[in-house]
Structure 1
Amino acid sequence: MTQPAQAQALRGTAVAVDGDSLEVGGTRIRLFGIDAPEFDQTCKRNGETWSCGKSAKDQLAALVAGQEIECQGQGVDQYGRVLAVCWAGRDELNEAVVTQGWAVAYRDFSDAYIPAETRAKASRLGIWSSTFALPSAYRLSKLEPAPAPVPESLARPMVKAQPPTWTGGCAIKGNRNRRGQWIYHLPGMPYYDRTRAEEMFCTEAQAQAAGYRRAIVQ
């Protein structure tokens, strides 16, 4: 029986949702530290297009078929999925998927699977036998265009931007992404340096008062 997600430990039979996601007893799990092609993503091999995202899911399904899966949670992502390292018996699934060439190491969150990726790439296994877009780049390409500007009369109240500083002052970046989410990033967070600040805040309280939520860090 699957334990509550809050316990951060889950056990049970699993169903593959895509190449790096499982469902265990009704709980969605995202395999931590790896990134597989999206289910609808395609790759090219010898000039031919093939459904590498579907193949990645099929490979994960084969790894978990008939097995009792044990997962140790590392947190929860923005979609409510438990981020976890999972095992089928003695085999760690996260590493196995990368080793077989069906996912890349997700460097934004972990360096643990870079050696496995290097070996799979050298042996041209799985997606490494093809040309492909990194899954993260593919997801960005699928985002809808930014929405039209909101009329000033309907716009949310704004806190005046403060000049950035790295000396303990106003260094919190507020950003409105293409999904319409209002998120703030603190110095040291994974996406801080890549985030384009639309507003700067001195404190988290200021950012929250302006309608932003803190970025989820895994």
Structure 2
Amino acid sequence: MTAFRNIHVALGSVLITGLAAPTLAETIAGPATVIDGDSLVVAGQQVRLVGIDAPEFDQTCQRGGQSWTCGQEAKTQLTSLVQDQRIECSGFERDAHARLLAVCSAGYLELNKTLVENGWAVAYRAYSDAYVGQEARAKAGRLGIWASEFTPPADYRMAKLPPAAAMGSQRRVQPGRAEGFSGCTIKGNHSRRGDWIYHLPGMKYYNVTRAEAMFCTEQEAQRAGYRRSRSD
């Protein structure tokens, strides 16, 4: 009986320990090569800088009536930060492309924050509000892409989707415009079954849904080919 009780207590301790164990961050470190303005390869693994969104590599912005390659420039800016540096990235999950969603640093310099505060990326509110303050200061100072008119990177990607999905999604940001494009809270997501679904704040899966597009109204989401989530 004593032996049985000891085994039972030991098993209970293991179960309790397992339940109480916190989720551990995944960390990778080493030399880096840049893919575009917000993604890179570190020690052979692909990483997406979480909480920020830089212009796509082939994206252009408008400045003084002229088009310029802001996407290529964003990549150049990130390259200058990681060149000849040991980069350390830490994150808790990977995206649909198996990239680690991470905060990365070169020594004491955080890459995510630096890109936003210098105007080479926007705060990606669908994932995090961590860099909203840096974005506001970059807009006020008209730094980087904020000295231009540009399509938000998420909308630019949406425009490449089939017409029914992309319809009505594009918005252009004016230079230094204070309100930007951050007031829309409806999340659009492409489900594993191939459905285009939108989630309203307060819905069951809203907080865990990773937005592939953001909408201001249900009508806008529906025009873009999304349907309301049936989970509630």
CA contact (8 A) 2:117 2:137 kept: yes
Does the alignment pair 1:143 with 2:152? no
SS at match of 1:96: helix
Deviation at 1:73, TM superposition (A): 1.1
Superposed, 1:81-92 pairs within 5 Å as 81-92=99-110
Superposed, 1:1-218 pairs within 5 Å as 8-146=26-164, 177=190, 181-182=194-195, 186-189=204-207, 190=209, 191=211, 196-197=226-227, 200=230
Larger Rg: 2
Runs of 5+ consecutive residues of structure 1 not aligned to the other structure: 1-5, 148-174, 203-218
**Identity value in percent:** 49
RMSD of the alignment, in Å?
2.9
CA contact (8 A) 2:196 2:227 kept: no
Corresponding residue pairs, total: 170
CA contact (8 A) 1:144 1:178 kept: no
Q: TM-score, normalised by structure 2?
A: 0.65
CA distance in 2, matches of 1:103, 1:78: 21
SS at match of 1:142: coil
CA contact (8 A) 1:102 1:126 kept: yes
- Closer, same or farther: CA 187–115 of 1 in aligned 2, 3 Å: same
CA distance in 2, matches of 1:27, 1:7: 15
Bigger CA drift: 53-62 or 175-184? Answer: 175-184
CA distance in 2, matches of 1:95, 1:137: 22
Q: Could you say which residue in structure 2 is the equivalent of 1:153?
A: none
Deviation at 1:200, TM superposition (A): 3.1
Q: TM-score, normalised by structure 1?
A: 0.69
